[in-house]
Chains A and B, each alone.
Chain A
Amino acid sequence: MDKTFFMPRQASTMAAAVDDVYYFVYWLSVFFFALIVGLMIFFVIRYRRRSPDDVTPKITHSYALEAFWSIIPLFLIILIFAWGFKVYLQLRVVPANAFEIHVTALKWQWQFTYPDGTVTIGELGVPVGRPVKLLMNSQDVIHSFYVPDMRVKQDVVPNRYTVAWFEATEVGDHRIYCAEYCGDGHSQMYGWVKVMPPDVFNDWVAAGGIEAGNLPPVEYGKLLFEKKTCIVCHSVDGTGNKQCPDLLGVFGHEVTLTDGSTVMADENYLRRSMMEPNADVVQGYRAEMPSFAGLLKDDQTTALIEYIKSLGASE
């Protein structure tokens, strides 16, 4: 279902059940708000002060009224509690036939590991119409996996596994956000749930989770730069306003490292910076980049290097 004024698209089997609770509480709230504020406004107009000598009645309390407006809300909140809890249990209990994907959160990217060893970054490909179980773990601080369209949210904690599940109902792309504050890149730590028909999904996983097509290396590198979330931490426009070094024109120039030594930024330096990022850290920056060893295939590494080379060339 398309998004409404209040809620985003319904793209999972649980979304409608969650939204039913939402709209029940919503209309109940509208009713009580209208009742209270309506009475308040009515009284203010009806009983406004007409003269400084107005005489008012001495009405102090009514046990019947107090009981009435304590007990009615009590029944209503019991109803909301029970309904909310029932749907919550459905959100928590993973169906037996679920397809399991491992999720690793780190500053500031999502990594998804498939049963065959395929790893994708920032892109969670899933088959439509089949429950997907996410077994999640963080490498550093607490993150939270949030897909509004699926009504799924679960914190991802270091040193412990947490679990979430959803079953996508329509083919398409859906935003993944990090909902637990995790530092400088928090607001860019997003990704996409890519919902595909089952056969397309199987091909996609087999191909390593990315469609290179016949792109030239520089174009492919540019695509990877976004897909593998390099762009979250590295600016490429010379502003240097992100938490890692700007890459404009870096190729072919000497860079100064934290120990004061310098090194020529050639192809091998760039490759080492991806695989062992904390070996040669540029002066003024923290050693906080995760290693991409095992996450990039050789042709992908080459394409990224070609893209970074191209950044210097045009200037």
Chain B
Amino acid sequence: MSTATLPGPIPHDHDVGRINYLHSHRGVMSWVYTLDHKRIGIMYLAAVTASFLVGGVMALLIRAELIDPQLTMLPSNKVYNQLFTLHGAIMVFLFIIPSIPAALGNFFLPIMLGAKDVAFPRLNLASFYIYVVGAIFAVISIVLGSVDTGWTFYTPYSVDTQTSVVMMTMGAFILGFSSIFTGLNFIVTVHKLRAPGLTWFRMPLFVWALYATSIIQVLATPVLGITLLLLAIERVAHVGIFDPLMGGDPVLFQHFFWFYSHPAVYIMIVPGMGIISEIIPTFARKPIFGYRFIAFSSIAIALIGFLVWGHHMFTSGQSEIAVMIFSALTFLVSIPSAIKVFNWTATLYRGSIDLKTPMLYALSFIFLFTIGGLTGLFLGALATDIHLHDTYFIVAHFHYVMVGGTVMAFMGGLHYWWPKMTGRMYPELLGQITCGIVFLGFNMTFFTQFILGSQGMPRRYATYDEQFQPLHAFSSVGALVLGVGFAITTAYLLWSLWKGAKAPRNPWGSLSLEWQIETPPIHQNFLETPVIEGMPYDYGVETGSGH
């Protein structure tokens, strides 16, 4: 489908379509009712960033309390438990799941496909408002008596506790629909709205990654919805599903929960991998190495990722046969991730590498995700998982993947596309220095926790043994450094909106489609439907050396 075959737009609309999307319509209501995927992306960006900062403040409170082995700063263990629950729930459901797909993906997926918008613009706006409603439920639950179950809501504790579990799970239930609608929208958009000439194997890898992510969102999220609904029914109507006192099975909840939440780990990381696959070719001025392998590895991760949920339950008492199968499948899912890392590194070979802020974040991603991935081997291996399960080793491992991976990719993508989205340049040197601060703070905070966990420090502890204090204190100092890094980033990005230099059309010399259009993009993205004639990464010149 292309705009050329549509009836011509009415003249007034045509004029609006030529103006940059920030100025095409005026007034608050033009944002509230907007159907423009770019504006919806910006609203998501504001919402997820606000959630990230709230979740981050909670992380700092947690780390401040953990400087001392005894409870010193917070009034009770319960408040500590509520804080780590909220930190997890906010970061997972309100920040990291929607972060890249709904904010950056919404903005750039249609542009990368050469389309005017997503397939269902109204559904797209509905996704955003459903997200807002879900977030409101989460806030109400905090006011009513904040949940203290951990973000995993394990039964029977979550049936037993006096806190507002129903309100919070309803929030997560509603947020799930936002996620499903976005995934559905993206799948249809990729299938139906590609520009002429944009074959599947000419699509940017960010689009492949979002496509794989959308498949998981659509297939896995309903299971979470049903599970949380069952939990709410059990609490409200006292139907015995998970609570053994009413004849239920508490371990069943873990199966249901991880059947969603392990694939959800890939909802969180695969879009980040997509961003890295965009940044590295641009700043190395090289075609991405092994395009098809990277594209298919996203799909492989999405599919195998559905079959490994039981590795969260090696100590739960499930049968040894199940444990063996889940361990084997878990190792299998490491291969596509490894392929990506090798291909990114190979792309750097004989490149012309420019260490701008997005590239520094991409290289940080490779460094940190490699550690996150390799430490997964300790957890996939059964003998060592028994010792390391539910210790700080796990906490460190998933923060290396989720923060060292996804958040670094999000930061890289944010800086990479900031000029295109806002029309302003961020301060480059400050960006590079801040990336260094974030990298340092992150490693101080979380590498320490690998040692803590190996030594046997269990997670979710408000108080702990004296022997762990030096490492905990060091980790807390790292968290402060990390917090300072994110605070500086927030400050200079906001500053750049007012005072930043005007951004040119293509500051990085990128070949992909989004950099060939106006900065900021016009309301309808393209005046004429583009015709795609090659790969998005056609950098370099043929050398005749046999490649």
Q: Interface residues, chain A, CB within 8 Å of chain B?
A: 3, 5-8, 17-18, 21-22, 25-26, 28-29, 32-33, 36-37, 39-40, 43-44, 47-50, 52, 54-62, 65-66, 69-70, 73-74, 77-78, 80-81, 83-89, 91-92, 140-142, 144, 146, 148-149, 151-155, 157-160, 162, 175, 177-188, 241-243, 286
B24 on the A face (CB < 8 A): no
Query: Do A21 and B384 contact each other (CB < 8 Å), given the known contacts A36-B341, A80-B331?
Result: yes
Cβ contacts A to B, 12 pairs, < 8 Å? A5-B451, A17-B383, A18-B383, A22-B454, A58-B541, A69-B342, A77-B377, A91-B386, A148-B387, A148-B456, A184-B78, A184-B148
Tell me the smallest distance from the CB of B467 to a CB of chain A, in Å: 9
Whether the Cβ atoms of B315 and A81 lie closer than 8 Å is no
In-complex Cβ contact of A180 among B348, B349, B390 (8 A): B390
Q: Are A154 and B460 CB-contacts (below 8 A) given A21-B381, A40-B345, A182-B157?
A: no
CB–CB B374/A33 < 8 A: yes
Are B315 and A55 closer than 8 Å at their CB atoms?
Answer: no
Q: Which residue of A lies closest to B292 (CB)?
A: A61
Residue of chain A at shortest CB distance from B76:
A241
User: Min CB distance, A196 to chain B, in Å?
Assistant: 22
Interfacial chain B residues near A33, Cβ < 8 Å: 370-371, 374
Q: Which residues of A contact B324 (CB under 8 A)?
A: 85
Q: Which residue of A lies closest to B329 (CB)?
A: A81
The answer to whether A179 touches B160 (Cβ under 8 A) is no
| Residue contact A84 to B150, C-beta cutoff 8 Å | no
In angstroms, Cα B250 to Cα A155, docked, is 12
Q: Inside 8 A of A73's CB, which chain B residues have their CB?
A: 334-335, 338
Among A8, A37, A177, A181, the residue within 8 A (CB) of B157 is A181
Interface string of B338-357 (1 = CB under 8 A from A): 11011101101111111100
A157 touches B251 (CB 8 A): yes
B488 to chain A, nearest CB (A): 24
CB distance from A204 to the nearest CB of B (A): 24
Q: Could you tell me if A153 and B317 are in contact, using CB atoms closer than 8 angstroms? A: no
With A18-B387, A36-B370, A177-B456 given, can you name 15 additional A-B contacts, CB distance below 8 Å? A22-B384, A29-B378, A50-B352, A60-B291, A61-B292, A81-B328, A91-B383, A140-B160, A141-B250, A144-B315, A144-B390, A155-B317, A160-B251, A179-B389, A181-B149
The answer to whether A69 touches B350, judged by C-beta atoms less than 8 angstroms apart, is: no
* CB atoms of B316 and A155 under 8 A apart: yes
Q: Which residues of B168-203 have CB atoms within 8 Å of chain A's CB atoms?
A: none
CB-defined contacts of B327 to chain A, threshold 8 Å: 81, 84-85
Stretch at the interface among B261-269, B282-290, B417-425: B282-290
**With A88-B386, A158-B156, A187-B463: A56-B286 Cβ-Cβ less than 8 Å:** yes
Given A57-B540, A184-B77: A141 and B352 interface contact (C-beta under 8 Å) = no
Contacts of A157 in B (CB 8 A): 250-251, 316-317
Task: Answer yes or no: B516 CB below 8 A from chain A CBs.
Answer: no
The answer to whether A58 touches B539 (Cβ under 8 A) is yes
Contacts of B292 in A (CB 8 A): 61
Q: B464–A56 contact, CB under 8 A?
A: no
**Chain B, 367-404, contact with A by CB distance < 8 Å: what is the 0/1 string?**
10011001101101111111101110000000000000
Looking at A22, A32, A56, the one whose CB has the most chain B CB atoms below 10 A away is: A56
- Asked whether A69 lies within 8 Å of B338 as measured between CB atoms, the reply is yes
Q: A33-B374, A175-B456 are in contact. Are A153 and B353 (CB under 8 A)?
A: no
- A65 and B339 CA atoms in complex are apart in Å by 10
Whether A25 and B377, one on each chain, are in contact in the complex, defined by CB atoms closer than 8 angstroms, is: yes
C-alpha spacing A92/B327, complex, angstroms? 15
Contact with A along B512-547 (1 / 0, CB 8 A): 000000000000000000000000001111110101
Asked whether B27 is an interface residue with its Cβ less than 8 Å from the other chain, the reply is no
Q: Which residue of B lies closest to A150 (CB)?
A: B387
CB-CB under 8 A for A59 and B374, given A44-B355, A142-B156, A155-B315? no
| In the bound complex, CA of A81 to CA of B334 (Å) | 12
Q: Cβ of A18 and Cβ of B286 under 8 Å apart? A: no
Chain B residues, CB < 8 A from A178: 458
Number of interface residues of B (CB under 8 A): 98
A47 touches B353 (CB 8 A): yes
Q: Is there contact, CB below 8 Å, between A65 and B346?
A: yes
Q: Is the CB of A183 within 8 A of B320?
A: no
* Interface assignment of B228: CB less than 8 Å from any CB of chain A: no
For B537, the closest partner residue in chain A by CB is A60
* A70 and B339 alpha carbons, distance in the complex (Å): 6
A61 and chain B: residue at smallest CB distance = B290
Whether the Cβ atoms of B458 and A48 lie closer than 8 Å is no
- Is B308 an interface residue when CB atoms closer than 8 A count as contact? no
Q: How far is the CA of A160 from the CA of B459 in the complex (A)?
A: 24
Contact of B547 among A17, A58, A70 (CB under 8 A): A58
When distances are taken between beta carbons in the complex, the residues of chain B under 8 Å from A152 are 386
Q: Judge if B256 is at the interface, Cβ distance under 8 Å.
A: no
CA distance A110 to B478 in the complex (A): 35
CB <8 Å contact, A60 and B287: yes
By Cβ-Cβ distance, the 10 closest A-B pairs, closest first, are: A148-B456, A84-B381, A54-B352, A88-B382, A87-B383, A159-B244, A187-B461, A58-B540, A43-B348, A29-B374
A contact residues around B382 at 8 Å (CB): 84-85, 87-88
Cross-chain contact A154 with B331 (CB below 8 angstroms): no
Contact A47 B366 (CB under 8 A): no
CB-nearest residue of chain B relative to A55? Answer: B541
Q: Are A81 and B331 in contact (CB under 8 A)?
A: yes
Give the contacts of B228-273 with A (CB-CB under 8 A): 244-245, 249-251
* Alpha-carbon distance A48/B284, docked complex (angstroms): 8
Specify which chain B residues have a CB less than 8 angstroms from the CB of A158 in the assembled complex: 156, 244-245, 250
B335 touches A60 (CB 8 A): no
Query: Which residue from chain A places its CB closest to the CB of B383 in the assembled complex?
Result: A87
The smallest beta-carbon distance between A235 and chain B, in angstroms, is: 10
Task: Report yes or no: B81 in contact with A43, Cβ–Cβ below 8 A.
Answer: no
Distance to closest chain B CB from A237 (angstroms): 12
Smallest CB separation, B545 vs chain A (Å): 7
Q: Is the CB of B386 within 8 A of A37?
A: no
Q: Give A315 to B525 CA distance when docked, in angstroms.
A: 77
Within the complex, what minimum Cβ distance (angstroms) separates A22 from chain B? 5
**A56 — which chain B residues lie within 8 A by C-beta?**
284-286, 350-352, 539-541
A65 and B345 alpha carbons, distance in the complex (Å): 12
Q: How far apart sit A186 and B161, CA to CA, in the bound complex (Å)? A: 14
Contacts of B251 on A, CB cut-off 8 Å?
A: 157, 160
Is B62 engaged at the interface, CB distance under 8 Å to the other chain? no
Closest CB of chain B to A266's CB: distance in Å?
A: 29
CA distance A160 to B316 in the complex (A): 11
Which of B251, B291, B454, B465 has the most chain A CB within a 10 Å cutoff?
Answer: B454
Name the A residues within 8 Å of B291 (CB-CB): 60-61
Taking a contact as CB atoms under 8 Å apart, the answer to whether B390 and A146 are in contact is: yes
Residues in chain A near residue B367, CB distance under 8 A: 37, 40
User: Closest Cβ of chain B: how far from A207's Cβ, in Å?
Assistant: 28
Residue of A nearest to B323 (CB): A88
